[in-house]
Amino acid sequence: MKFSMDWTLVVVLQVLFQPSLSVLFTVQAEQTIYKSEYGGNVVMGCRFSPEPANPQSDLKVTWHRITSSSSPEVIRFDNGKISASQSHQGRVRLLIEELKNGWAKLEMSRLRINDSGVYQCLVQTSDGDDYKSISLSVVAPYKSVTKHIEEAAEGDEVILTCQSEGYPQSSVVWKDGHQRTRNPSNTSVSETPDRLLKIISQIQVSSSERNNYTCNFTKDGSSATFYIPDEIPQSKNDAAIVIVSMLVIMGAVTVGVLAYRRRKGKKGSRAHSARSTRNLLVHAEDKSAATCIQIDKENEDVIINVGHMEETLGSQLKAFYSEYSTETRRRCGAFSVEELLQRLQNNDGQPVNPLALLPEPGETVFLEGLPGSGKTTVAHILVSSWAEEPPHSLELSILSLLLCVDCSAVKEDLYQEIKTQLSLPEKTSAEELRTVLTRSSKALLLLDGYREGNHVFDESLRMFLSEKRGCRVLIMACPGHCPTLMQTAGGMLKFNLQGKSL
Ligand X SMILES: *[C@@H]1O[C@H](CO)[C@@H](O)[C@H](O)[C@H]1NC(C)=O
Site residues (CB under 6 A) for ligand X? Answer: 112, 114, 177-178, 186, 188, 194-195, 200, 202, 210-212, 214, 216, 218, 221, 223
CB neighbourhood size of 151 (10 A): 14
| d(C-alpha 475, C-alpha 405), whole Å | 10
Rounded least distance, CB 449 to ligand X, Å: 20
Which of 359, 368, 363, 314 minimizes the C-alpha distance to 465?
363
Rounded least distance, CB 212 to ligand X, Å: 4
Question: Would you say 91 or 283 has its CB closer to ligand X?
Answer: 91
Q: Which residue is nearest to ligand X (CB)?
A: 177
Amino acid at 478: C
| d(C-alpha 31, C-alpha 29), whole Å | 5
Rounded least distance, CB 454 to ligand X, Å: 9
| d(C-alpha 106, C-alpha 215), whole Å | 39
Burial class (CB in 10 A: 0-12, 13-18, 19+), 375: buried
Question: Would you say 64 or 375 has its CB closer to ligand X?
Answer: 64
DSSP bridge partners of 282? none
Q: Which residues of 3-13 are buried (b: 16+ CB within 10 A; e: fewer)?
A: eeeeeeeeeee
Question: Would you say 54 or 487 has its CB closer to ligand X?
Answer: 487
Rounded least distance, CB 462 to ligand X, Å: 17
Strand ranges across the sheet with 26-29? 26-29, 42-49, 103-108, 92-94
Question: Would you say 193 or 333 has its CB closer to ligand X?
Answer: 193
Question: Would you say 223 or 496 has its CB closer to ligand X?
Answer: 223
* Cβ 120 vs Cβ 132: under 8 Å: yes
Rounded least distance, CB 221 to ligand X, Å: 4
Question: Would you say 177 or 470 has its CB closer to ligand X?
Answer: 177
Residues 6+ apart with CB under 8 A from 347: 494, 495, 496
| d(C-alpha 313, C-alpha 402), whole Å | 10
| d(C-alpha 120, C-alpha 395), whole Å | 59
Rounded least distance, CB 112 to ligand X, Å: 4
What is the enclosing helix (H) or strand (E) of 133?
A: strand 128-139
Rounded least distance, CB 111 to ligand X, Å: 10
Question: Would you say 48 or 167 has its CB closer to ligand X?
Answer: 167
Question: Would you say 87 or 326 has its CB closer to ligand X?
Answer: 87
Rounded least distance, CB 169 to ligand X, Å: 15
